[in-house]
Structure 1
Amino acid sequence: MEKYEGYMFSALCSSNLLVSCLLFSAVTREQREPYMDEVFHVPQAQRYCAGRFSEWDPMITTLPGLYLASVGVIRPVVWLADLTGAVVCSTAMLRFVNLLFNAGTLYLLYLLLCKLHPHDKTTASAARRVLSALALSAFPVLYFFNFLYYTDAGSTFFVLFAYLMTSYGCHKASALLSGVAVLFRQTNVVWAAFCAGTLLAAKMDEAWRAEHAKKRDDSSSSYQVPLSVGGARRVLRFALSFLTSGARVKGFLVEAWPYAAVGAAFAAFVLLNGGIVVGDRTKHEASFNAPQLLYFLSFALFFSAPATLCHRRALRFLHALRMRPLLFLSLGALLVAAVWRFTYEHEYLLADNRHYTFYVWSRVFRRHALVRYALVPAYVYAAWHFLDVLATSSRRSLFWILAFVTCVAAATVPQRLLEFRYFIVPYLVYRVHMPVPAMPRVLLEMALYAAVNAATLYIFLNKTFHWPEDSATQRFMW
């Protein structure tokens, strides 16, 4: 069976790369010159290709991980083929580096699915696992940016690689890869903290089970904490006792010190740099944009619908509403207050009509002042759905869920700009922890992603427009 699965995965990897290369050729043929943020990234990478590592564009806000990785891939080609760096470090070649990251991401997703769902050993499960990895590697927002020279492909690759190493207990390798991920995007330090939080959650879960087993005189107890207010209070009390126990904290730090080293290095960078952003900071200020988490939950609900939506879950939600109406009313009131007090409109969101978020905001959120409040019931369901999927489907402990939700909030809430690219990593981590769906659901998920990808690439290539004050061709994109 494993041999059959390996052959099938290899065939799909080859097919995926072939299709991606054909699409890459179409994109590069139509958009030869750097577009959008590429006008900053491409020249900077070309400076590195030429060996001018001391030159830096002050408009670039991220660390040079993408450019260093590109040079690491391209320079050997220059040496082996005896070509000039100017030829090999073209816009097209730099973009192609992201296709290589995409191929690696597909393999990482497959390994994560195998590691997180080891009990699925049948041939049918193998097929579903392989197709699920293929579908997730074609996740629309991520897949689109494989064809442009952006940081998303490399950033996602190294975050997933770090998490895979964490799941295998290779914490030094995970911390090193997390550090590389931070070089692609500074906010990836949140996912370095998540890898450490996963280790902490495992330690806490082990201590919780041992403590509860003693109380019940049952060493095989697998007591699960319910997702309730009472359960949250018990977990909070236990967490405080765990974190104030010197022996337990010492045992955790013995294993987690590589992540602490990454955190210390990042803190030193922030201190010396005077902030997280490297270059232009005027348009990248942190804020408490609480609704950003609600946008992510809605985003996750839509793209996970083929794998998660079912009538049983809807009935369970209605039952939860009947059982705890005050809890849901309180949550709804809290979300209304968050939307009222902490909704921000970034100037890019209002001015740049090349991004889909411009139209989402202008045609939905700005249609009427009450629209953003009318969406609160949908947010309530999206939040419940997200937690229900994690609690009932992911086979993770409540401590892991708390760590994950905390990191999702940390990765989204400080972002003032609504940007779907910020949702890629949290969504993929969320999705790989779901049980591998049944084959019809996997195929439906693939069809949804393929349809969205086809639509976005078609619009990008064919629905061009011009601004009155600028003759350059403009294109719609994520």
Structure 2
Amino acid sequence: MFWVKQLLGIAVPPALLFVVGWFWLSLVSKYVPEPYLDEIFHIPQAQKYCEGKWAEWDDKITTPPGLYAVSVMASRVGLLGFQTACSPRTLRSVNVWCISLLGLVAATCRSRIERNLVGKMPSTRVMSLYSVHTGFNIALFPVLFFFSGLYYTDVMSTLVVLTAYSNHLNRLSRKQSSVLNDIWTVVLGLLSLTMRQTNVFWVVIYMGGMEAVHALKMLSPSNQGRISTETISERMRRIIHGYSHGSIHDLPLSQAWPDDAFFTVASLVIAVCANPLRVLRQVWPHVAIMAFFGAFVAWNGGVVLGDKSNHVATIHLAQMLYIWPLFAFFSVPIVSSVGFFLFDTVLGCASSSSVQAVTSTTNRPRSPQSRTTGTDTGSQAVFKRAKGAKDSPQQLSAFDSSEHTPGRTSGQSTLRLLLCAALATFCVIGALVVIKYNTIIHPFTLADNRHYMFYIFRYTIRRPGLFRYYLIFPYLISALLAYKVLTIGDDSTSHPVSAFNNHPYDPRSGLLGLSETNKASPKGPEKSAAASEISTLEEDDASQSTVPTSTAILLLLSTALSLVTAPLVEPRYFIIPWIMWRLLVPAWSTKKYVNAPRHIPVLGLLAKAGSQFDLRLPLETAWFVAINVATIAVFLLMPYQWRTEDGTLLDEGRLQRFMW
């Protein structure tokens, strides 16, 4: 019965997505039977391939021909049904299949993220309800789902990137991958580049960077405990020695402070320089992908294939301001968790136990070990005995908890607050400088009033006076919300000794990659426990775990590289950054609030329900459905015609439609 539920849980969302997607396609085919907007380039090019004219190419197309080639192959083997071969409807149906698969692949990615966070092997993790629902919601992401009814590259491109990401996450569950999987990684990476060139930042920088971190964490650092009489130079040598042998400073994001990001980067740089061959063995597939991409750019004379004059790479830092309000708008149900119960606390009527519960998420708590032994926790803590586990080099780090860990003394707390204040000041000043000197408005943005971005720019960024500078407040507040959402998980349960360095200890599965129980298939009672159903958040602490600091740094870096090189601002460019961010968002359980007295009674009921499942997910589903219905209705039912001031029809009187 359990596996039947699992199969239904996995099969129903893709089936539902297919039905909804096909209905959306039917509406588009009825109201917009002819190619529209960018489809006037994509559909004729695919039809040329259908006719066998593989050497013909439209110079107005900027992206590679991966979508067209896959569409032709799918049509020839009958995957697109018995419709007219390569008609607009047939070609559009490709994306309906893609959006259905995308939800399942996204759920798989989220499940593997959870598995890797707690160090469990593939055979011991079932897909959680949180993973399945997250994947379903990602497929409903309005900017993505809208194009599932049109013949654009975005849906298939995203599907291929997520497939490569799923394979990458599976590689992270092993100490070292096989050569066959290395080759498969190269194939998936190159396939993603045939869809869209900017995917190189995700398959090379983001995934390749995490592979490098993984390779370093698989090292076995030697135990060099702190000596109380050591000098500063001796301590520095010991710290660097620990870094170079794999004791990476990589706190869970929920326990990291701004300075921890610096130490994370420093430890990784030192470790990479000390272990180049080990890192290269792990990341060579990504290096190969980058080499192929570099060869393509050299052969092509640039990144884009066609229309090069209108798509010149530039430095557009303002993109890193625009992205955060988009995240906040589409993720209102998700980011609301940051301040929902804070609202009740502000009223001053919550009990001290409630206040303590709230601050336990905001502040950096001690792990059970630190509460037991009286020592601090941190990425470089000296791990003590953990529930009967023997001390080993893998459980010991380069230096102890008093160095570069969440502050406990008043002096450390004050210093870190000053660092936070300095960081906030830097962000404000930096944003103002970017707004003044690097606000780029592409001619396409102003020339086409069919896109929502035209109106966003018109009524915000292009307003006269100082209005564009006032936007710094929604920019930075949205960025803070996007960051805080990644930190609201509960690492105290899934990481009794947190995954701070190379071999996180988990009392249920031993040391990652070292436990015999992980290597062998569970038998008897162990097998029963491993295969038990996970239906509530109380039973599934893995979904509540937060990712390491290094992952967040790589996400920010990859997002920046993929956006700041584009002069044109389009919501479609934010699809993959949003999805990668959304996949890292931990589940939010309200278990800690259940017994806390509430000034508003309904909060108590919500807290009880939220201890069983993440309340944000159904709200997110409803929010996405509402946005999709609204944008689809506007697209289909509110067409208009372009006219001159004297009323003369333009574009031969064709109907124009609003879209992303």
Global fold match (TM > 0.5): yes
8 Å CA contact retained: 1:178, 1:191: no
User: 1:175 maps to what in 2?
Assistant: 186
* Distance 1:436-1:26 versus aligned 2 partners, 3 A rule: same
* Distance 1:215-1:72 versus aligned 2 partners, 3 A rule: farther
Equivalent runs, 1:253-264 vs 2, <5 Å? 253-264=280-291
Equivalent runs, 1:16-55 vs 2, <5 Å? 16-55=17-56
Q: Give the Å deviation of 1:263.
A: 0.6
Q: Which of these residues, 430, 434, 453, is aligned with residue 334 of structure 1?
A: 430
Q: Which of these residues, 268, 288, 295, is aligned with residue 239 of structure 1?
A: 268
User: 1:349 maps to what in 2?
Assistant: 445
Q: Give the Å deviation of 1:244.
A: 2.1
Aligned residues: 470
8 Å CA contact retained: 2:75, 2:86: yes
Q: Give the Å deviation of 1:398.
A: 1.7
Equivalent runs, 1:212-291 vs 2, <5 Å? 214-215=224-225, 224-225=250-251, 227-245=256-274, 248-291=275-318
Q: Distance in 2 between matches of 1:131 and 1:232?
A: 31
Q: Give the Å deviation of 1:322.
A: 8.6
Q: Give the Å deviation of 1:280.
A: 0.8
Q: Percent identity?
A: 30
Deviations 1:316-336 (A, max 9, x none): 899998983333122201111
Quick check: 1:201 aligned with 2:196?
no
Helix, strand or coil at the partner of 1:184:
coil
Q: Give the Å deviation of 1:422.
A: 0.5
Q: Distance in 2 between matches of 1:351 and 1:52?
A: 33
Structure 2 letter corresponding to 1:307 = I
* Distance 1:263-1:88 versus aligned 2 partners, 3 A rule: same
Q: Distance in 2 between matches of 1:60 and 1:306?
A: 37
Q: Distance in 1 between matches of 2:80 and 2:483?
A: 52
* Distance 1:203-1:308 versus aligned 2 partners, 3 A rule: farther
Q: Give the Å deviation of 1:125.
A: 8.5
Equivalent runs, 1:49-64 vs 2, <5 Å? 49-64=50-65
Structure 1 letter corresponding to 2:89 = A
Structure 2 letter corresponding to 1:203 = A
Quick check: 1:408 aligned with 2:563?
no
8 Å CA contact retained: 1:165, 1:171: no
User: 2:659 maps to what in 1?
Assistant: 477
Structure 1 letter corresponding to 2:280 = L
Q: Distance in 1 between matches of 2:74 and 2:456?
A: 38
Structure 2 letter corresponding to 1:476 = F
TM-score by length of 1: 0.90
Structure 2 letter corresponding to 1:456 = T
Structure 2 unaligned residues grouped into runs of 5+: 172-180, 228-241, 344-357, 364-415, 490-544, 589-612, 644-649
Helix, strand or coil at the partner of 2:14:
helix
Helix, strand or coil at the partner of 2:547:
coil
Deviations 1:353-408 (A, max 9, x none): 00000011101212233222111122222223333333554622222222111101
Q: Give the Å deviation of 1:183.
A: 0.4
User: 1:140 maps to what in 2?
Assistant: 142
Which structure: larger Rg? 2
Helix, strand or coil at the partner of 2:446:
helix
Q: Give the Å deviation of 1:43.
A: 0.5
TM-score by length of 2: 0.66
Deviates more, 1:26-35 or 1:395-404: 395-404
8 Å CA contact retained: 2:431, 2:472: yes
Q: Distance in 1 between matches of 2:79 and 2:581?
A: 40
Q: Distance in 2 between matches of 1:197 and 1:129?
A: 24
User: 2:639 maps to what in 1?
Assistant: 464
User: 1:129 maps to what in 2?
Assistant: 131
Q: Distance in 2 between matches of 1:401 and 1:210?
A: 24
Structure 1 letter corresponding to 2:621 = M
Equivalent runs, 1:62-73 vs 2, <5 Å? 62-73=63-74
Equivalent runs, 1:316-395 vs 2, <5 Å? 324-393=420-489, 395=546
Q: Distance in 2 between matches of 1:80 and 1:294?
A: 44
8 Å CA contact retained: 1:78, 1:88: no
8 Å CA contact retained: 1:64, 1:184: yes
8 Å CA contact retained: 2:217, 2:248: no
8 Å CA contact retained: 2:334, 2:485: no
Quick check: 1:435 aligned with 2:586?
yes
Structure 2 letter corresponding to 1:135 = N
* Distance 1:263-1:17 versus aligned 2 partners, 3 A rule: same
Deviates more, 1:110-119 or 1:359-368: 110-119
Quick check: 1:117 aligned with 2:119?
no
* Distance 1:159-1:125 versus aligned 2 partners, 3 A rule: closer
Helix, strand or coil at the partner of 1:117:
helix
8 Å CA contact retained: 2:432, 2:469: yes
Equivalent runs, 1:416-455 vs 2, <5 Å? 416-437=567-588, 438-455=613-630
Q: Give the Å deviation of 1:426.
A: 1.0
Structure 1 letter corresponding to 2:158 = T
Q: Which of these residues, 147, 158, 161, is aligned with residue 160 of structure 2?
A: 158
Q: Give the Å deviation of 1:313.
A: 7.4
Q: CA RMSD in A?
A: 3.1
Deviates more, 1:111-120 or 1:4-13: 111-120
Q: Distance in 2 between matches of 1:41 and 1:327?
A: 45
8 Å CA contact retained: 1:66, 1:151: yes
Structure 1 unaligned residues grouped into runs of 5+: none
Q: Distance in 2 between matches of 1:5 and 1:78?
A: 27
Q: Give the Å deviation of 1:205.
A: 4.4
Structure 2 letter corresponding to 1:448 = W
8 Å CA contact retained: 1:345, 1:416: yes
8 Å CA contact retained: 2:60, 2:307: yes
Deviations 1:53-99 (A, max 9, x none): 00111111111101111011011229996x9xxx3110110000111
Deviations 1:332-351 (A, max 9, x none): 01111011111100011111
Q: Distance in 1 between matches of 2:159 and 2:441?
A: 30
Deviations 1:31-63 (A, max 9, x none): 000000100000000000111100111111111
* Distance 1:369-1:69 versus aligned 2 partners, 3 A rule: farther
Q: Distance in 1 between matches of 2:342 and 2:477?
A: 11
Q: Distance in 1 between matches of 2:445 and 2:296?
A: 29
